[in-house]
Structure 1
Amino acid sequence: MQIRTDDLSAPEVQSLIAEHLREMHETSPPESVHALGVEDLRTAGVTFWTAWDQGELLGCGALAGHESGEAEIKAMRTAVVARGRGVATAMLEHLITEARARGIRRLSLETGTEDHFAPARRLYARHGFAECPPFGDYTEDPHSVFMTLNLGIG
């Protein structure tokens, strides 16, 4: 598996993001969907990566920079055909490594409360993320779980 910085121009990457957005809207109320589309992922302050194996797109993930040494994980997604192959673990470990290399002190994320999101919450917890109050521009939401990981930098 190769993880590389991506500009979101490949049709299969755009399809994966569209699939991600569709699924988020199918599993959460519209006001509780915080997933970003392709154009939002191309904005300044967001770095986007994709995971590939022999030309097959396996998944993606992004870091959105925040002020004061904090970053947020965005767009974590494993392609349906690649689930159960360790893609999410590899991408999450890559994002944590990248955040540390950038001097990020705290890495946070938002995910859903529905059963659909339970595997993601378990993955994050296995990597040391703990539930926290809303951060950044987020507010309390019964459909959101906020998690954070102190990277011990600074």
Structure 2
Amino acid sequence: MPTALQSLFLGTNNIDRLYGLLIVAGLFAVTLACYAVGVFYVSGGLVFIPFYAAIVGMVGALWVGYRQHGLLFAWAVTYAALLGYMAYSSFFGLWGRPLAYRISSFLASDGLGFFGVQALILGAIAFSAGHVAQVGLKAVKRHAATTK
């Protein structure tokens, strides 16, 4: 019997690891592609929280919370979307620089850490909203079934 903490972090509905990795990699690729082709855009100036990447990550984390797959998975989904933006800014935003410079820019610990903290905060908020929506929907269904 899993403890409450295990259920929170790992979820009560287990997801296949390969399927989970495909979801995370897919969100990374979709976010990167959307920025690369111009579906998402950078508003200019100093960007601390990339808006569209944060929205994609939070929608993914909301789904994870609703499906009860665990907070760790929600963080990974949000981080993948934010890393998609980071890959865009590193590889497409620094186009004139050598490839080694662009790779080192993408793998810089300050950027990875900064987006990691954003993923923790945004992912936890969206996961909580999804979890509350799922619990609320169950309560409404249970109430509707008892009043018939």
> Higher RCO, 1 or 2 (CA under 8 Å, sep at least 6)?
2
Using the size of structure 2 for normalisation, the TM-score is: 0.28
Structure number having the greater strand percentage? 1
Using the size of structure 1 for normalisation, the TM-score is: 0.27
Structure number having the greater helix percentage? 2
| Structure with the greater alpha carbon radius of gyration | 2
